Structure 1
Amino acid sequence: MDWLQLAGQLAQVGLPSLGTLLGTTLGGPIGGGIGAAVGKGAAAAIGAALGVPATPQAISQAVQADPSGAQIKLAEIEAAAKLQMAELGDLANARQMQVGLAQATHWTASMPAIVTLAILTAWALLTSALYFIPGEIPERVYQLLSQAYGAANLALGTAIAFWLGSSRSSQQKDAQISAILPTVVAKR
């Protein structure tokens, strides 16, 4: 039994997305590099959930032994896989849109930089107003400034994450690349 056959078996018990993930990443068109790392991670999670080794044969036997129990155990993994695939698709679409705008030299291509500068300016002004203006600030004005400062801090954090890519999915991708890089380099 191979990963593609296991994908079909998982689809038959009502887990088509999980089957597709395993079939395409370990036995199909994106079976190398990052795809293989993702597929191996999914296979390990499936094996752990079923209490068997992460091999197509062991997983297949566990599913055949108790199809409804396997479906229940693996439904959560499939939901997480669907969510991750959707997040990766959204991320790819956003990056593709940004690159397309920059290549077309469209005026909106510079909007992230403009918004970031506006956020940074607002944050600097609010910081100055709260910390460096001498004298007593009326309570109502101080409360409004404090709320605006909090919002500016959140916006600045988001802008920094946009430019530096410190999102959860980016960190996971970096970890996966770091994990497979030695094997890829060793093969060359």
Structure 2
Amino acid sequence: MDPITLALTLAGQFAPSLIKHFTNSETAAAVAGQVIDMARTVTGTGTPDEALASLKADPALALQFKLAALQADTELEKASLADRANARGRDVALAQAGRMNWRGDLLAFFAVGGLVLCVYFIARDADMPERAVNAVMFIAGVLASAVRDVYGFEFGSSRSSQVKDATISNLSK
């Protein structure tokens, strides 16, 4: 089994909180390697497949793996939060220098504008071929995700996310 599939299997069965870290294509392989290494360390096995079998067979090992996964999740969340803090700090520094973040503003404008155009094209032409509708809807989904990210960046995270951040902060003390 390839490393990412195996790591997803491990995370899905024993540490579901780690799955969100696989969605970033830049970090998926690193997270997969970390999950596999944790499983091998906890179980004392040589191969990832042996580690998976050991975790399935021994509930005590599965619990140890879950605890290690929670710690890893905390560290990954800290890294993600630090990355966002640096981006927001950049915006603050630009504002203090009397400059605007044209790049961010243009990205937000094009994401929202593109989403509006997608909705317009679908609403305007009811006889559009199904393949074209599927393509436009796919693009709209990507743009909606970009708009969500823009709003999340500009207006901060949700209340539940703030509670999670406080929990992570308390765990790191």
TM-score, normalised via structure 1 length:
0.44
Rg larger for: 1
Please report the TM-score for the alignment, with normalisation by the length of structure 2: 0.47
